[in-house]
Structure formats: C-alpha cells, structure tokens
Amino acid sequence: MYSLLKSYIKSQTEINEEDLQFICSCFKPKLTSRNEIVVDFNDICDSYYFINKGCIRLFTINTEGVESSRYFAFEGMLCTALPSFIDQKPACEYLQTIEKSELLVISRADFYSLVEKLPQFGEIYKRILELGFITAQKRIYGFQGFDALEKVRWIIKHQPHFLLRVSNKMAASYLGISPSTLSRIKSKL
C-alpha cells in the first residue's frame, strides 16, 4: 500500500528508513468510488492526498453552471485544493476522484508538522510548490492564443495518456473547448 508513496519520497530527497517510516505513518488509506466528491465547493480543505491508484480532478462550476477543470492528478502524485489548504478558506472548487481510487491522506496539521520537523519533507513541499507553479505557467503559455486543434495537439504531446484516461467532457472542460469540438477534432486524428 505504501510502496508507491515511499518511492515517490525517495525520488524527491535523500532520506533514511526511519524518517521514511515516520512520514508514511502519517498517511491514512482512504478508498473512494468513481465520481466521488472528496472536497466539496464550500469545504475548507484540510488534507493532502497522495494517489496510490486512480485519478483526481480539480474543477469548479461557474455561475452559468458550466464546469471548468484546472488539474488532473494520477497515480504517484500528490494533490489537494491548495488555495484552501493554505489559507483555510472555502475551496470554491471540487476535488473529485473520477475513478475508483486508493488515496493516502495526510491531515494539514501532520503535513505542516512534518514540514517543520523534517527538513527533507520541507524540501519536498518546496519542490511541490515549485513544480506546481511551473506546471501552471506552462499551461497558461500552452493554451494562450492557441486554437482548438493546437490545444489538443499540446495535451497529446505533454500528457499522452490524458485523453485516454479522462472522459471527453472533462477533457474538453480542461482544454477550454466544447465537448462537440473536441469530439470532432479527435475524429480527424
């Protein structure tokens, strides 16, 4: 159950077995079903989630009822509704497992306690933030000024499994195009 988490941590930092065990002991397993909402729109998010199996989507619904997805996380990745997690305000977005999933959950208190007490874990958190920042930027550049076809090509290049793993509707809401447009583009390659 914890082998993927362990190898994730070891890939991020030098760490001894004892500390590694201690970190893992802070993560509790949680099984979720397809399309289960783990963090609701008005919730204050107080956990960080490691995906042992399955897939998490972060999305919101605007005033006209249209979904907008901003992030998908897969096996071996950490994920949370970060703005809410950091500032302890309502998430204003949903965190959803779009497949039957096995999550490893660490509470905010334990997470920050690890960041404080274990310098290696502080390093990991810094790295998560840096990577998140870079990913968001790449996405902004990747989508800005591109037409629908170019966006689809971009996602195929940068996340080859994405379109295979995610429903047409969700993928479209991530790319900022309509499901029918995405469907038409896919049928032409």
Partner DNA sequence: GGTGAGCATTGCTCTAAGGCAACGTTTTTA
Partner DNA sequence: TAAAAACGTTGCCTTAGAGCAATGCTCACC
Which among 24-32, 49-57, 83-91, 142-150 is the span making contact with DNA, rule CB under 7 A?
A: 142-150
Binding marks (x or -) toward a copy of itself, 107..146, rule CB under 8 A?
A: ------------------xx--xx-xxx-xxxxxx--xx-
User: What DSSP character marks residue 44?
Assistant: B
Which among 3-11, 17-25, 32-40, 65-73 is the span making contact with a copy of itself, rule CB under 8 A?
A: 65-73
Which of residues 13, 60, 159, 181 is near DNA by CB under 7 A?
181
- Among candidates 39, 31, 48, which has minimal Cα distance to 109? 48
Q: Using the minimum distance from each CB to a copy of itself, give the nearer residue, 90 or 132.
A: 132
Q: Give me the sheet containing 47-53, strands edge to edge.
A: 28-32, 101-107, 47-53, 78-79
Q: Does residue 88 bind a copy of itself (CB under 8 A)?
A: no
How many residues are recorded in the chain?
189
* Burial (0-12, 13-18, 19+ Cβ within 10 Å), 83: middle
Q: Are 92 and 60 in contact (CB under 8 A)?
A: yes
Residues that bind a copy of itself (CB under 8 A): 60, 62, 66, 68, 70, 82-83, 86, 93, 125-126, 129-130, 132-134, 136-141, 144-145, 173, 176
